[in-house]
Structure 1
Amino acid sequence: MFMMKLDELEKELGSKLIMDNNVIDHYSKSPYLVSPVLSKMGKRVLGVVIAEDRYDIEFVVKFCDIHRIPLLARGAGTSTIGQVLPIHPSIVLDIQKLNKTMEYDEKYLKISPGVKVLDALNYLRKRGKELQVYPSSFYISTLGGYIAGGDVGIGSYQYGYHFHNGGIRRVKVVGSTGTFELTGENTLAVAQAAGTTGIIVEADIATVDYEDWKDQLVRFDELGKLVKFLKDVENERDKIRRITIEDQEALSLVAKNRAIPGKWNVILASTKSFGEEVEMKFLDELAFAAIYVTMSRLTNFSEYFYEVRLLSLDSFLKVVSQVKNALGSNVLIHGDVMTLRGETVIYTVFISDRQNFNIIDSIMTKEGIPFEIHSLVVNDRVDEEYRLELMKKYKRIVDPHNILNPGKLRI
């Protein structure tokens, strides 16, 4: 039935609708998805629409809604959590050819969704500014995709999630029932919703003054000393842009003689001197979701697997100590230190062979920390109930027939 409807779509869009097998193969995958669980969940897409303007987006959304055809918006496709992985036979709406516009008004940058994060940073830095929080994949990702799928990134130690602390002032989305402009707290219905609550066509995102951050490496021989250091520097939060933790094995793999690791390592960017200043040009290969992709290519684990958990400083010390005692160099530990609701938490990544996760899981269970499973569903990643309820509310308003990235938001 869908294929007959695509003939109608082709009459309206002409060459903008592509159904070439090679193109369909490309868009049926999520290129940066390395989870061995999620990677098996993709479905073959029906066709690809290359949108060139707002009319194309509005027309395709309306067409798919009338005919109940699943629709998935896609920009650069850099998500590592399955945001752009089709789990139903869908039409993919590629928005990368849309006009890319930026306008700065002292505190916020107004953007169209296809704007690359790197282009936005270059634009702002000419004006002495930078984005308040932005993804570690800034050199390849788009801001629309980051708003829709991301939550943390560079600057999260200072400001938390990118949508906290006024991170998004306004966002405009297209849904099957029309175009909606959300402001203030209502923008949280779109941030991290994976496009299920509308396709972003405009947004205003927060900026801060650009400062000359220096990358520094601080080595520790004990994990307890590292955690004490993190507690001590909480008073210097405004002087520290980001903090990353690596065990010796993880940093050795990435550094490749560009830095000498300690047993435990803190890498931080700060205007204040805390340790040895180093040229950490490879730091972005380690930050947040980039670690999954980087380590999947560098480790010798035959069944590469990872899990993630947000841990308090004390829980991090307790859990990681037990995991390392049990597995030693057979597990790699990475952590991104961030501020969440005023508290310091560590976005902790455990990387090992899949068989070792029985041990890691048992330690988590004993400590009363539920182990986070691999999931494509927004509900399993959003950790604030009020945001999830906003998403559900606007999903019903914007997309009542659930055609936008269906299966990614349980309502």
Structure 2
Amino acid sequence: MAIEAEKAFMLGLGINRVLLDSGSREKLSKDYYWYSPVLEKKLHDKLADGIIQPETDEEVVKVLEIAYAHQMPVTVRGAGTGNYGQAVPLNGGIVLDLSRLDRIVEWGEGWARVQCGVKLGVLEREARVRDRELRIYPSTYMKATVGGFVCGGSGGIGSITWGDLWDGNVLEATVYTMEEQPKKMIVSGDELHAYIHNYGTTGILTELVIPLAPKTEWTQSIVFFDDFMKSMEFSYTLSLDDSIRKRLVSPHEWPIPSFFRPIKKSIRQNQAAVLLETAEGTLPKVTELARSFGGEVGYSIPSEKYRSGIGLSDFGWNHTTLWALKCENNVTYLQAGFSLEHFREQIKLVKDTFQDEVLLHFEWMRSRGKVSPASLPIIRYTTEERLNEIIDFFNKHDIFVANPHTYSLDSGGRGILPLMKQRKLENDPLRLLNPGKID
């Protein structure tokens, strides 16, 4: 379609929120891909022809029907807090902004049914009023939507106890296909694997059922160590100790803690720091365990101040990269899975080889029930070639890398790719849903 015909088509949809001005198209065609200098170069000029913000499932279906008839690409968007260009339209067309589908539909016993545009911070607040809380959520939870997290994320705060999105942390999804007459599907069980971390390529998710945990009063603390490996041994032992309930176990080698400007006065110079959220009443046991590894609790926030200001989870997961970028403009990151059996040797290899070019930051989590050392190392970036050399080194030494410097699910994403590709063929025969993100 010609540009003017596209505009006429979008304005004729009968939907109130159709945005065609350049400012809206520029803003809502972007996400946080700029964490990656590689993606920044590839995606900075990509732009939708129009933004549509439906407020009901019926409006979503109307957009899909007409887009299919005119063979217009549709790229779905939540809050745009993803880091891999998930919400960036590679081929113009429509960005379908679902942030106005933001209603909590129903509360159940240990679950909530929500529209996809509900912000995770809102859901957490409302759940805690009801003596429940989110199981897992990203560090961007105040802005991120439930649908955006399910379709573009994987794990986060709480994953040390509850695992990642594939570990039963999505119970059901309402999905619409991209066909002449879009089908509504209610998906659950293993079939959800076709839609978790799918970047909106296999169907449009408008409603989700999310399991909730009983509310815990959380104490936050930082344990400091002279030696990073001691911080890893402590955090590993803590992660295995089920008598201490945990939401965050996040070790950082120096100088990463120096990037945390809002709590700069509480950071100890030249020391590794382990950021913790543990259940109220566990701090004495945490302190005792820390001492046994040569560490010391040097900062804490009592449970009554949880969520009353900046919290330690605001410095973990990929917020660590954000704070680093505020201090050094030549940094980026990787997503890496170290071996539980060999993480000590792997850490030594990485540090001996790259020294301060690679700064290590781990997030202990459970995956399929097993404790594992996930890492989001900070990379002092020089060239794409050098970045690829580092990735190749990691892979050579059995450190799995989910490459955050590609927008393709095939070459960097997570998820159950064979099932996703099968559903892509079935649900999107013209390949109009976020084209270019999955082969």
Q: Deviations over 1:56-95 (max 9, x none)?
A: 2111111111221110111211112221112221211122
1:364 Cα offset (Å): 2.6
Alignment counterpart, residue 222 of structure 1, candidates 224, 227, 232: 227
Is 2:129 aligned against 1:126? yes
The equivalences for 1:142-153 within 5 A come to 142-153=145-156
Choose 393-402 or 323-332, whichever is displaced more: 323-332
Counterpart of 1:367? 397
Q: 1:162 to 1:380 in 2, by over 3 A?
A: same
Measure how far apart 1:101 and its partner are: 2.5
Deviation at 1:219, TM superposition (A): 2.4
- Contact kept? 2:276, 2:312, Cα under 8 Å: no
Task: Note if 1:13 corresponds to 2:3.
Answer: no
360-369 vs 155-164, which moves further: 360-369
Alignment partners' CA distance in 2, 1:197 and 1:51: 19
Q: Name the residue aligned to 1:306.
A: 333
**What is the CA–CA distance in structure 2 between the aligned matches of 1:339 and 1:211, rounded to whole Å?**
19
Whole-Å separation in 2 of the counterparts to 1:389 and 1:233: 36
Write the distance in 2 (CA, Å) between the matches of 1:128 and 1:141.
22
Counting only pairs closer than 5 Å after superposition, residues 267-286 of structure 1 correspond to structure 2 as 267-271=275-279, 272-273=282-283, 274-275=286-287, 276=297, 278-279=300-301, 281-286=310-315
Equivalent residue, structure 2, for 1:406: 435
The amino acid that maps onto 1:160 is: G
Cα separation, 2, equivalents of 1:79 and 1:137: 9
Aligned to 1:236: 241
Length-normalised TM-score, structure 2: 0.85
Q: Retained in 1: the 8 A contact 2:48–2:94?
A: yes
Q: Is 2:194 the partner of 1:178?
A: no
Report if aligned partners of 2:366, 2:372 keep a CA contact under 8 Å in 1: yes
Which letter maps to 2:149? Y
- Is 1:253 the equivalent of 2:259? yes
Asked if structure 1 preserves the Cα contact closer than 8 Å seen for 2:202 and 2:428, the reply is yes
Aligned residue for 2:316? Answer: 287
Structure 2 distance, partners of 1:127, 1:371, is: 39
**Aligned pairs, number:** 405
Q: Is this contact kept in 2: 1:331–1:351, CA < 8 A? A: yes
The amino acid of 2:248's aligned partner reads R
**Counterparts of 2:311 and 2:39 in 1: how far apart (Å)?**
27
**Which AA in structure 1 matches 2:25?**
I
Aligned partner of 1:191 in structure 2 is 196
CA RMSD of aligned residues (A): 2.4
Give the alignment partner of residue 324 of structure 1, picking from 343, 346, 351.
Answer: 351
One-letter amino acid of the counterpart of residue 364, structure 1: F
Instruction: Identify if the C-alpha distance between structure 1 residues 222 and 259 changes in structure 2 by more than 3 Å, giving closer, same or farther.
Output: closer
User: Secondary structure of 2:252's match?
Assistant: strand
> How many angstroms apart in 2 are the aligned matches of 1:95 and 1:261?
44
Identity of aligned residues (%): 26
Give the counterpart of 1:213 among 218, 225, 234: 218
Q: 1:191 to 1:389 in 2, by over 3 A?
A: same
CA distance in 1, matches of 2:208, 2:274: 34
Instruction: Please give the alpha-carbon distance, in whole angstroms, between the structure 2 residues aligned to 1:321 and 1:76.
Output: 38
**After the TM superposition, which of the residue ranges 204-213 and 75-84 deviates more from structure 2?**
75-84
Work out whether residues 232 and 251 of structure 2, in 8 Å CA contact, stay in contact via their aligned partners in 1: no
Give 1:365 shift: 5.4
Structure 1 residues 203-212 or 339-348, which shifts more?
339-348
Q: Does 1:116 align with 2:119?
A: yes
| Cα deviations by residue, 1:154-175 (Å, 9 ceiling, x for unpaired) | 11011111231x2111100122
8 A contact 2:333–2:379 mirrored in 1: yes
**Contact 1:223-1:317 at 8 Å conserved across structures:** no
**Aligned partners of 1:134 and 1:162 also within 8 Å:** no
Aligned to 2:373: 346
Seen in structure 2, the aligned counterparts of structure 1 residues 363 and 317 have a Cα distance that, compared at 3 Å, is: farther
Matched, 1:84 2:87: yes
2:292 — aligned with what?
none
Cα distance in 2 for residues equivalent to 1:224 and 1:31: 32
Structure 1 residues 264 and 314: CA distance shift in structure 2, 3 A:
farther
Distance 1:269 1:211, change over 3 A: same
Whether contact under 8 Å (2:15, 2:59) holds in the other structure is: no
Whole-Å separation in 2 of the counterparts to 1:368 and 1:32: 26
Give the Cα separation in 1 of the matches to 2:398 and 2:169: 33
Tell me the SS of whatever aligns to 1:207.
strand
